[in-house]
Amino acid sequence: MKTGAENAVWYLRHHRLFDGATDDVVRGSHHLFVQRTYAAKAVLFEQGDIGRVVYLVKRGKVRLSRILSEGKEHMLAILGPGDIFGEEVMFTKNVVRTTQATVIEDAYLCLARMQDLFSILSRHPVVAMNIAKYLQEQRDEAIATAEEMISLKVPERIVRLFERLAAEHGVREASGIRIPVRLKHAEIASLVGSTRETVSVELGRLLRTERIILADGYYVLPELAQEALAVH
């Protein structure tokens, strides 16, 4: 059985943050990360908080959202194993969080203080490059999502959203690929840039034509090209 330190080293060695780093780099950095478990509905930070910590998702799901002026919550992303969030603290001191992070499925996270992670980046260029690659991917995904909202109608936006979630978090079942997060219509609307009412209507049509299946409260994609999936 691995000790806590061995477990942390193993996880960091396999995390994208340390991709290409030597064992010495990983072993010399693991003590700067704290591992913690959080129950569903736990709020990790709120919009307006001063950011001091960066998070790596080891297990579970986390929702990033923004609270609008009228008090409504606008979902921005669902994060899972391998994802990084809160990284904005690495570039600006006393940065104010512009999002809220909430656990939606019991999570096991690795936390690092801003100054500790900055020290790792400054001493190990390969880790800094991995962060740059991650941020580039996030930017590209945001641009692609914005283009979809302009070019696609709402039903296709919903299908594309579910395809992305299936690729990132999907679980293979006999009936297709299940998205292991219970999504409300309002949350889907936030993610596809539409209204709850429109999403409700279009989801109903997608369910009737079986492009999407609803089973035990979870959405399932019955058919996806195998090469488009990266499921667990």
Q: Is the pLDDT of residue 230 over 50?
A: no
Shared domain for 37 and 133, answered yes or no, is yes
pLDDT single digits (tens) 154-166: 999 999 999 989 8
pLDDT tens figures, 37-55: 999 999 999 999 999 999 9
Given 115, 147, 179, the domain boundary residue is: 147
Is the pLDDT assigned to residue 104 strictly greater than 70? yes
Measured distance CA(175)–CA(66) in Å, rounded: 34
Last residue of a domain, one of 147, 172, 203: 147
Instruction: For residue 6, name the pLDDT band (cuts at 50, 70, 90).
Output: low
| 12 and 118 inside one domain | yes
Tell me the one-letter amino acid at 183: L
Q: Do residue 189 and residue 204 come from a single domain?
A: yes
DSSP one-letter string for 95-151 = PBP-SEEEEEEEEEEEEEEHHHHHHHHHH-HHHHHHHHHHHHHHHHHHHHHHHHHHH
For residues 47 and 34, membership in a common domain is answered with yes
Check which CATH number belongs to the domain holding 166 and give it.
1.10.10.10
C-alpha radius of gyration, the chain, whole number: 19
In this prediction the pTM is: 0.79
Q: Show the domain range for 199.
A: 152-228
Residue 9 has pLDDT above 90, yes or no: no
- Is pLDDT above 60 for 95? yes
Sign, Cα dihedral of 142, 146, 152, 155: positive
Shared domain for 141 and 166, answered yes or no, is: no
Which pLDDT score, from 0 to 100, does residue 231 have? 43
**φ/ψ of residue 89, rounded to 5:** -70, -15
Question: Is the pLDDT assigned to residue 228 strictly greater than 50?
Answer: no
Predicted confidence at residue 196, as pLDDT, reads 92
Count of structural domains within the chain: 2
CATH classification of the domain holding 78: 2.60.120.10
Same-domain pairing of 18 and 84: yes
